[in-house]
């Protein structure tokens, strides 16, 4: 009798743990291939470098079978690139120093590449090809190395726009910093007691230096304030602009009359601090969003078009109605259309959430974005990619996002109250002091406007939120918009998608019933399934992996489903076991029989399992008194099974829902709902809910609609996110009270007319600095606390 | 005290030079990607080896499609 012992081994290339036979060192053929290539090229230093800074989440190499001739298509190149010799690719799986090193070597590895520039945070590589080279060869090299490249447009894109904007921001900060620094030299001399001629000269120099700061550098504030006025709104830039303008008026008046304070030093400092903190915030936010631009290029692939016995390769974006496209296994279907020849099995999870493959045959309609698991067939395009339902879905989720009930942000809300109070107080001050002369009354009112600092709203709150975003990022949660943390506080209902959210969306072998005497035959299962791409085959291959190079001759596909082959003179077959009472045709059964010469020797059960942490998270939700509901597009039987395992009663799960229905269920309580989902079919629901969270593995599309994205599919991140939100809320409230007491004191002094120049000069920056320091201290503590938590949990 | 009239323009000039060189650096894109160079610095230089032949030969790539 032969017993099967299975040990977890680390893959030599990607370091994923896997079940291996005695002499296999790689988890998959993709990894083995990359390893061989590197060895052959003397590039095994890759592994040494990786030890310096190992990636956190290893991923096996996904063999890519796309071809990339479209990259050299003239029309395509003019569409996406300014220069026909340069092209940018988005890469998957660039996650450590070693990857950067390897990509840096690209010109040495591939003769088509003249120069390459890697952008690690954006996961992009910009390639300049040699005179004679082709982008196809470069892309193929990248693909073989396991980076799955996609050509990205770098013309007129949002990315280019962001880059220019960032440059302008930096220049503004640079000038503001240089001028403010020099202003301080003169201002300090004046406060220290410079007199007469010297003092006057210093004052003029301060005004001259402040001029670029208050015009060019402060321009974004004026623009935003003007926009707010035009739309009859109040935003945070308005009080800032009022402070600046009031300060300028007072300052110029002081300059002419020879008053002691000309305010320009404080104003320049204010502008510099505000610009810097906003730049910081923007940087943190954009860093985690930039990876999303891949979604715009989802449909760009090369396809083979058939015309009168001729085959030609074009980019899928150029497909037109009526064209015939060759679809091979492992391909994403590029356009809506009809199957006109051949049969295949397609995975529609992206659009419907249905986890089982669907059989398609001649005259069946198929939709863009779905995935052809196996079978070669011909598609007649009825709607080109950009008009497909898939593209419409993308569009509608964008719209849903725009129509989201506008959540009044805390900062805006309190900020508005603050602006109105300050104005009212300034008016009152003017009215009460009118008796002691208009000039005096005016100067007191202006002093009040200047010293009551709006910077807690302009800087401290955004800073606290950026710390929250960073804390979330440390937990592998990408937050699209900081207002998420505020909206999280209102959440009372949690809605979960099933396939891919509560389950990991992949079939796994859960049990094998086999007579011990027959165990030795199980290794033939791998041989049978070796060339299959079906989810069932993938699961079986993973479970029964062995490195024996068995030749099993020709593998036959059986009419009733399953495979059969002759090995060593015996016929082996894997067939689905027909379950009784299964009303759904086209559904792939989850139980299989492995037979030798017609008699069954093993029964294998496959299940799309619940994530192991799901029960824990549901228990947490119960403790926190959240209501939890499962919304699934899957079959009732699977959903019931899933709900039962989580201990939900029958009114708390719904099955066979369409995208619309999910959104409709959420809509009545949108403001207090959180949707956790995966896949484009949830996009609408994600956008409708007050908070939408897309879980990894989800199509990039979900990111368009969702507010946050989990880079690791771990549901425990959801309680973590709530915790961050609550802590941030507390930090913001603390800063608000500090700022309130400060403004109260400064305001009282100003109203009573005791605001001496020295006080004003001390108060303005001091209150800003104290609030900023408070935000930074609580922020760093937050990120640290969350970090430790992470250590305990994982 | 007259030295002030010499030192102030000098200070401003120095400040101006730094501000301008900063702007030039920004425009040239030195601040576009602050992370990748940090990784590259970890990698030691090595003696240039003879250029290896293509990872994928042209023939192979054509056959592959």
Tell me if B31 and A53 make a contact (CB, 8 A cut-off).
Answer: no
> Using a CB-CB distance cutoff of 8 angstroms, which residues of chain B are in contact with residue A163?
32
Q: What is the pLDDT of residues A84-98, one digit of tens each?
A: 788 888 777 676 777
- Out of A101, A104, A170, name the one closest to residue B31 (CB): A170
Confidence at residue A405, expressed as pLDDT on a 0 to 100 scale: 36
Tokens at A304, concatenated: 């083979």
The answer to whether A773 faces chain B, any CB pair under 8 Å, is no
Phi, psi of A338 (to 5 degrees): -125, 140
- Out of A45, A118, A141, name the one closest to residue B56 (CB): A141
Confidence at residue A408, expressed as pLDDT on a 0 to 100 scale: 38
Confidence at residue A255, expressed as pLDDT on a 0 to 100 scale: 86
Query: CA of B13: which chain A residue's CA is closest?
Result: A182
The answer to whether A427 faces chain B, any CB pair under 8 Å, is no
- Out of A97, A111, A182, name the one closest to residue B11 (CB): A182
The answer to whether B61 faces chain A, any CB pair under 8 Å, is yes
The answer to whether A174 faces chain B, any CB pair under 8 Å, is yes
The answer to whether A54 faces chain B, any CB pair under 8 Å, is no
The single-letter DSSP state of residue A499 is I
- CB neighbours of A330 closer than 8 A, spacing ≥ 6? A65, A372, A373, A374, A533
Which of A125, B55, B29, A96 is CA-nearest to residue A116? A125
Measure Cα distances from A602 to A401, A513, A525 in Å: 51, 5, 11
How many CA atoms within 13 Å lie on the side-chain side of A698?
34
pTM over 0.80: no
The single-letter DSSP state of residue A467 is H
Structure confidence at residue B25 as a pLDDT band (50, 70, 90): very high
The answer to whether B62 faces chain A, any CB pair under 8 Å, is no
Residues of chain A below pLDDT 50: 1-5, 288-299, 401-408, 580-589, 698-699, 790-794
**How many contacts does A have with B, using Cβ atoms within 8 A?**
93
Query: CA of B55: which chain A residue's CA is closest?
Result: A109
The single-letter DSSP state of residue A290 is G
Query: CA of B29: which chain A residue's CA is closest?
Result: A167
Compare A645 and B56 and report the one with higher pLDDT: A645
The answer to whether B15 faces chain A, any CB pair under 8 Å, is yes
CA gap A407, A747 in Å, rounded? 31
Query: CA of B60: which chain A residue's CA is closest?
Result: A137
The answer to whether A675 faces chain B, any CB pair under 8 Å, is no
Q: Are A390 and A331 in contact (CB under 8 A)?
A: no
Query: What is the complex's ipTM, to 2 decimals?
Result: 0.73
Query: CA of A66: which chain B residue's CA is closest?
Result: B65
> Using a CB-CB distance cutoff of 8 angstroms, which residues of chain A are in contact with residue B1?
198
Cβ-based neighbour number of residue A492 at 10 Å: 14
CA gap A30, A60 in Å, rounded? 8
Candidates B39, B49, B57, partner chain A, best to mutate (most A CBs within 10 A): B39
Tell me if B65 and A67 make a contact (CB, 8 A cut-off).
Answer: yes
Confidence at residue A150, expressed as pLDDT on a 0 to 100 scale: 74
Tell me if A137 and B56 make a contact (CB, 8 A cut-off).
Answer: yes
Confidence at residue A794, expressed as pLDDT on a 0 to 100 scale: 38
Long-range contacts made by residues A642-650, C-beta under 8 angstroms, separation at least 24? A642/A498, A642/A502, A642/A503, A642/A610, A645/A610, A645/A615, A646/A502, A646/A610, A646/A614, A646/A615, A646/A618, A647/A615, A647/A618, A648/A618
The answer to whether B23 faces chain A, any CB pair under 8 Å, is yes
CA gap A329, A207 in Å, rounded? 71
The single-letter DSSP state of residue A667 is G
Query: CA of A137: which chain B residue's CA is closest?
Result: B61
User: Nearest C-alpha of chain B: how many angstroms from A170?
Assistant: 7
CA gap A507, A171 in Å, rounded? 53
The answer to whether B45 faces chain A, any CB pair under 8 Å, is no
Tell me if A100 and B39 make a contact (CB, 8 A cut-off).
Answer: yes
Confidence at residue A225, expressed as pLDDT on a 0 to 100 scale: 85
Question: Left if phi > 0, otherwise alpha if psi is -120 to 50, otherwise beta: which for B51?
Answer: beta
- Out of B19, B43, B64, name the one closest to residue A49 (CB): B43
Tell me if B36 and A119 make a contact (CB, 8 A cut-off).
Answer: yes
Q: Mean pLDDT of all residues in chain B?
A: 73
> Using a CB-CB distance cutoff of 8 angstroms, which residues of chain A are in contact with residue B61?
136-137, 140
Query: CA of B61: which chain A residue's CA is closest?
Result: A137
- State the pairing for strand pair A124-129/A113-119: antiparallel
Sign of CA pseudo-dihedral A622, A627, A630, A636:
positive
> Using a CB-CB distance cutoff of 8 angstroms, which residues of chain B are in contact with residue A119?
32-33, 36
Tell me if A167 and B26 make a contact (CB, 8 A cut-off).
Answer: yes
Tell me if B65 and A69 make a contact (CB, 8 A cut-off).
Answer: yes
Q: What SS3 class is residue A657?
A: coil
CA gap B28, B36 in Å, rounded? 17
The answer to whether A557 faces chain B, any CB pair under 8 Å, is no
Query: CA of A140: which chain B residue's CA is closest?
Result: B61
- Out of A141, A170, A205, name the one closest to residue B55 (CB): A141
């Amino acid at each position: 009798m032969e017993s099967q012992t299975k040990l977890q081994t680390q893959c030599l290339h990607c370091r994923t743990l896997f079940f291996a036979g005695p002499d296999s060192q790689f988890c998959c053929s993709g990894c083995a291939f990359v390893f061989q290539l590197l060895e052959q090229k003397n590039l095994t230093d890759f592994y040494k470098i990786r030890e310096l800074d190992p990636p956190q989440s290893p991923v096996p190499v996904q063999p890519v079978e796309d071809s990339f001739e479209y990259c050299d298509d003239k029309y395509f190149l003019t569409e996406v690139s300014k220069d026909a010799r340069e092209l940018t690719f988005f890469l998957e799986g660039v996650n450590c120093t070693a990857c950067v090193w390897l990509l840096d070597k690209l010109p040495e590895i591939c003769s088509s590449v003249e120069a390459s520039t890697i952008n690690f945070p954006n996961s992009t590589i910009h390639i300049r090809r040699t005179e004679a080279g082709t982008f196809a060869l470069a892309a193929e090299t990248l693909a073989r190395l396991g980076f799955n490249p996609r050509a990205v447009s770098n013309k007129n894109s949002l990315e280019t726009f962001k880059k220019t904007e960032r440059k302008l921001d930096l220049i503004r900060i640079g000038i503001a910093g240089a001028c403010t620094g020099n202003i301080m030299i003169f201002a300090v001399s004046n406060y220290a007691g410079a007199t007469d001629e010297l003092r006057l000269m210093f004052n003029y120099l301060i005004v001259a230096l402040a001029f670029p700061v208050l015009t060019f550098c402060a321009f974004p504030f004026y623009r935003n304030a003007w926009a707010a006025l035009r739309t009859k709104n109040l935003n945070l830039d308005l009080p800032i602009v009022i402070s600046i303008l009031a300060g300028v008026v007072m300052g110029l008046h002081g300059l002419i009359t020879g008053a002691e304070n000309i305010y320009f030093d404080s104003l320049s400092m204010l502008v510099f601090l505000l610009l810097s903190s906003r730049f910081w915030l923007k940087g943190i936010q954009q860093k985690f969003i930039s990876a999303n631009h891949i979604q715009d290029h989802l449909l760009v692939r090369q396809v083979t078009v058939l015309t009168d016995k001729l085959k030609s390769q074009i980019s899928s974006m150029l497909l037109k109605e009526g064209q015939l496209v060759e679809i091979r296994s492992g391909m994403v279907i590029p356009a809506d259309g009809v199957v006109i020849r051949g049969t295949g099995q397609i995975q529609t999870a992206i659009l419907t959430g249905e986890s089982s493959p669907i059989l398609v045959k001649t005259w069946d309609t198929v939709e863009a974005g779905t995935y052809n698991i196996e079978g070669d067939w011909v598609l007649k395009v009825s709607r080109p990619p950009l008009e497909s339902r898939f593209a419409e879905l993308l569009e509608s989720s964008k719209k849903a996002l725009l129509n989201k009930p506008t959540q009044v942000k805390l900062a805006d809300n309190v900020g508005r109250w603050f602006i109105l109070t300050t104005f009212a107080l300034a008016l009152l001050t003017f009215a009460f002091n009118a008796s002691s002369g208009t000039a005096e009354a005016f100067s007191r009112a202006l002093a009040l406007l200047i010293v009551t600092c709006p910077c807690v709203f302009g800087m401290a709150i955004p800073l606290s939120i950026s710390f929250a975003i960073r804390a979330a990022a440390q937990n592998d949660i990408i937050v699209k918009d900081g207002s998420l943390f505020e909206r999280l506080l209102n959440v009372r209902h949690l809605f979960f998608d099933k396939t891919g959210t509560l389950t990991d969306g992949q079939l796994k072998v859960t049990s094998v019933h086999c007579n011990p005497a027959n165990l030795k035959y199980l290794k033939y299962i791998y041989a049978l399934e070796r060339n299959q791409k079906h989810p069932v085959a993938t699961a079986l291959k993973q479970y029964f992996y062995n490195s024996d190079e068995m030749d099993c001759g020709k593998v036959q596909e059986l009419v009733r489903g399953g495979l059969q082959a002759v090995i060593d003179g015996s016929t082996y077959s894997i067939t689905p076991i027909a379950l009784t009472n299964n009303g759904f045709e086209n559904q792939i059964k989850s139980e299989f029989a492995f037979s030798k010469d017609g008699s069954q020797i093993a029964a294998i059960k496959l299940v799309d399992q619940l994530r192991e942490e799901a029960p824990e998270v549901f228990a947490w939700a119960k403790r926190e008194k959240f209501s939890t509901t499962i919304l699934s597009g899957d079959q009732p039987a699977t959903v019931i099974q899933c709900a039962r395992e989580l201990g939900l009663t029958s009114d708390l799960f719904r099955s066979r829902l369409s995208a619309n229905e999910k959104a409709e269920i959420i809509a009545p309580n949108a403001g207090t709902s959180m949707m956790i989902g995966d896949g484009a079919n949830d996009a609408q629901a994600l956008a409708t809910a007050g908070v939408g969270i897309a879980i990894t593995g989800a199509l990039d599309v979900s990111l368009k609609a969702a507010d946050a994205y989990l880079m690791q599919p771990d549901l425990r991140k959801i309680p973590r996110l709530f915790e961050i939100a609550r802590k941030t809320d507390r930090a913001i409230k603390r800063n608000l009270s500090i700022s309130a007491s400060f403004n109260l004191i400064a305001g009282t002094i100003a109203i009573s007319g005791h605001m001496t120049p020295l006080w004003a000069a001390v108060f303005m920056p001091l209150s800003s600095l104290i609030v900023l320091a408070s935000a930074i201290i609580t922020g760093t503590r937050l990120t640290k606390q969350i970090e430790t938590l992470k250590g305990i949990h994982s | 005290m007259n030295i002030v009239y010499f030192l102030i323009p000098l200070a401003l000039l120095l400040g101006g030079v730094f501000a301008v060189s900063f702007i030039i650096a920004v425009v040239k894109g030195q601040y576009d990607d602050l992370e990748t160079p940090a990784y590259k610095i970890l990698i030691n230089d090595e003696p240039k080896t003879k250029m290896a032949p293509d990872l994928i030969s042209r023939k192979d790539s054509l056959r592959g499609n």
